[in-house]
Amino acid sequence: MGRELVLNLLKRGNRIIALDINESGLQETVRLAENRKEALATQVIDITCKESIDELVDKAIATFGYVDGIINNAGIIQPFEKLNNMDFATIRKVFDINFFGTLYLIKAFLPHLLTRPEAHIVNISSMGGFLPVPGQSIYGASKAAVKIMSESLASELAETNVQVTTVFPGAIFTDIKINSGLKEAGVSASDCKTAPKGVTLPSIAVETILEGMEQNKSRVYIGKDCKTMNMFYRLNPAFACKLIYNKMKDKI
């Protein structure tokens, strides 16, 4: 989904600095950028390293002169396991990437964003950030933390030039399992002809995110599954939890 965001933003005339820990992934994004390569800079970086993120700000401003927005899309899921079976190394890794990586980027760039005539922060939470999913308790907790931080930040910035959008994707046809290093990852999404039923294509997800960003929406829900479960959870939390449990119980 990160690559789709970069390519879509480039087509809209934006200049982008793409961050990834995977250098080959960045090189492929550059290749796909085609005639917009001059508007794309890349940086191999570990977003869990605060010092690296702090150093990035000056580099980013030096590259294009200013930064008008950040999109915090990087994230991993956990193995499909019950909390009782999870080790603390995995727990910390999920939180370091999903929550602290997002926090580091916000804290590093926010002072600069506040100086811009108009700026935007987009944080990717998850359907699992508002709905408890069995076997994804730590992932859900990290994304719930992103949700609350983002919404609190939006309130704090209400009288400033910086807008905040929180995104809640449902199931998206990406390689997040492979990128998260899960044994049950299976076949890469790029090797498949079509997405499974009920799973949203990254291109559609990205269009929804960017439309929400342009319209200064505070929340963006992606996918029929996410929108449906959000409605159920608001109306009847117990029913929604039972529904998702029955769907996921065989995975754990």
pLDDT tens per residue, range 162-173? 999 999 999 998
pLDDT of residue 179: 65
Strand order in the sheet with 162-169: 69-72, 119-124, 162-169, 219-222
Residue 125's CB is within 10 A of a number of other CB atoms, namely 28
Residues 6+ apart with CB under 8 A from 60: 17, 67, 109
Give the residue ranges of the chain where pLDDT is below 70. Answer: 177, 179-195
pLDDT of residue 190: 52
- Domain holding 59, by residue range, is 2-251
The reply to whether the predicted model has a pTM over 0.85 is yes
Task: Give catalytic residue positions.
Answer: 139
What's the CATH number where 178 sits? Answer: 3.40.50.720
How many folded domains does the chain comprise?
1
Cα–Cα distances in angstroms (integers) from residue 217 to residues 146, 211, 220, in the given order: 16, 9, 7
pLDDT of residue 198: 79
In this predicted model, what pLDDT tens digit does every residue of 84-131 receive, in sequence order? 999 999 999 999 999 999 999 999 999 999 999 999 999 999 999 999
Contact status, residue 190 vs residue 206, Cβ threshold 8 Å = no
Q: How far apart are CA 160 and CA 165, in angstroms?
A: 14
